[in-house]
Amino acid sequence: MTAETPRDLSGLTIDRDAPPPEPGPGRRLTLIALGVLVLGALSFLAWRATHPATLTVAVARAESLGGTPGANATEILTANGYVVAQQRASVSTEVSGRLSQLLVEEGSRVTKGQVLGILQNLDQKASLESARAAQTAAEAREAEARVDARQTALTRGRSEELHARGLVSQAELDQAVAADDAAQARVKSAAADAASARARVSSAQVEYDRTFVRAPFAGAVLRKEAEVGEIVSPLPSSGGLTRGAIVTMANLASVEAEADVNEAYVSRVHEGMRAEVTLDALPDERFPAHVRQIVPTADRQKATVLVKVSFDKLDSRVLPEMGLKVTFLADAASAAAASGGAPVAAAVAIPKAAVRDAEGRAVVYVVEDGRARMRGVSPRPLGQDRVIVSGGLAPGEMVIVQAPAGLSDKSRVRVK
């Protein structure tokens, strides 16, 4: 075999002392373009750092409580209570008897004098009919007596005329006069009997009418207290064998709010003060009202004073016994005076979605001059999707709702 000739590998040796090769024209352009891109990216990042992106946000207006915009209504205090009707009654009967008809149900609207129920009244009805028949007979006897009296009066007149001419004797005249006097007496007796009969009819009518239970005023039936077949009485028995009322009703036009105010703060409230009522059943509704009366006594057990608040406008959805919260309001000057001269922040209502949590405290973002400004607040519930804020916001300011990601204090914003 022939031996292979060894190959020369010296050309593969790297000379570390040799100068680097000059870059070609294409590589030089690539490096320049890459440098421009890097400088552009760095410039963009520097611009973004000094000019943050403008965020598009939705806003809502902070609404003043208790008045028109600009009224500066100020929250003095709040108290819990219930809706009550000033005019309310348990409607009972005037006589004892068995209830034969009940003509209303819970919720029935009735007018004053409307029949609510009827007791068994066959005896009373029979007595009334008997009295009316007796009255008819008595009036007939009176009419007959008056006819006889007219006849005897004519006879007496003729006898007096004939006696004056000497045509009849004195005895005949005396007889005519006596007959006329007796007829007049019978008329008086018959008239008295007729009057007595009419009185008996009136008495029987009253007894009959008492078997009809009528509404003492216009209103609504709140609750049935008796059923058909039960015995009802003005004085219910202690054993529960008789009922004392057939229905409980209330005048819905007289409903108002009653709130228990802590006696330590009742001095802040005065009659005529503006207020707002929020019902537990309608948490998103606010009903304007005013203080009607402060009851001049305190409850020693609860250390509260009862305050009665009238609605400015009645609403059919406001029903007796509903739970509520009363917010007492005043202007800024009155609020400061009530708090001993200390300034009191205006209370406003904002959407619950405007409140955010920042490091364990509640904050809102307000739009000012195209930027978001963070403010700390102390919100309290006002319905399902609203809150009351008593400090940190002024009526009319625009708060950001459902803040987008990346929103922070002094962020640039644009309102939708």
Residue 7: pLDDT above 80? no
- The confidence band for 223, taking pLDDT boundaries of 50, 70 and 90, is very high
Classify domain 88-120+218-250 by CATH number.
2.40.50.100
Residue 39: pLDDT above 90? no
In tens, the pLDDT along 148-196 reads 999 999 998 988 888 888 888 899 888 989 999 999 999 999 999 999 9
For position 22, what pLDDT does the model report?
A: 58
| 289 membership: H or E segment, kind and range | strand 287-299
End-to-end CA distance of the chain: 93
Do 227 and 102 form a contact (C-beta atoms < 8 A)? yes
CA 311 to chain centre: 7
What is the CATH topology of the domain spanning 57-70+347-415? 2.40.420
% residues pLDDT > 70 (the chain) = 81
What radius of gyration do the chain's Cα atoms show? 49
Calculate mean pLDDT across residues 62-88: 73
Q: Where are the domains of the chain?
A: 57-70+347-415, 74-86+253-338, 88-120+218-250, 123-209
In tens, the pLDDT along 87-145 reads 999 999 989 999 999 999 998 999 999 999 999 999 999 999 999 999 999 999 999 99
- The confidence band for 69, taking pLDDT boundaries of 50, 70 and 90, is very low
Mean pLDDT score of the chain, rounded to an integer?
A: 83
Calculate mean pLDDT across residues 332-345: 51
Structure tokens at 289: 């009202």
Same fold, 57-70+347-415 and 74-86+253-338: no
> Which of 168-182, 191-205, 239-253, 291-305 shows the lowest per-residue confidence on average (mean pLDDT)?
239-253
- The confidence band for 79, taking pLDDT boundaries of 50, 70 and 90, is very high
What is the CATH topology of the domain spanning 74-86+253-338? Elongation Factor Tu (Ef-tu); domain 3 (2.40.30)
Do 288 and 315 form a contact (C-beta atoms < 8 A)? no
For position 414, what pLDDT does the model report?
A: 84
Name the DSSP letter for residue 317: T
Burial of 201 (0-12, 13-18, 19+ CB in 10 A): buried
Q: Is the dihedral of CA 126, 127, 129, 133 positive or negative?
A: positive
Residue 413: pLDDT above 80? yes
pTM score: 0.59
The two beta strands, 212-214 and 115-119, are: antiparallel
- The confidence band for 33, taking pLDDT boundaries of 50, 70 and 90, is confident
For position 358, what pLDDT does the model report?
A: 83
In tens, the pLDDT along 372-412 reads 888 888 887 766 678 878 777 888 899 999 778 778 888 88
Structure tokens at 302: 């609860």
Structure tokens at 372: 């978001």
Q: How far apart are CA 219 and CA 254, in angstroms?
A: 9
Calculate mean pLDDT across residues 324-328: 91
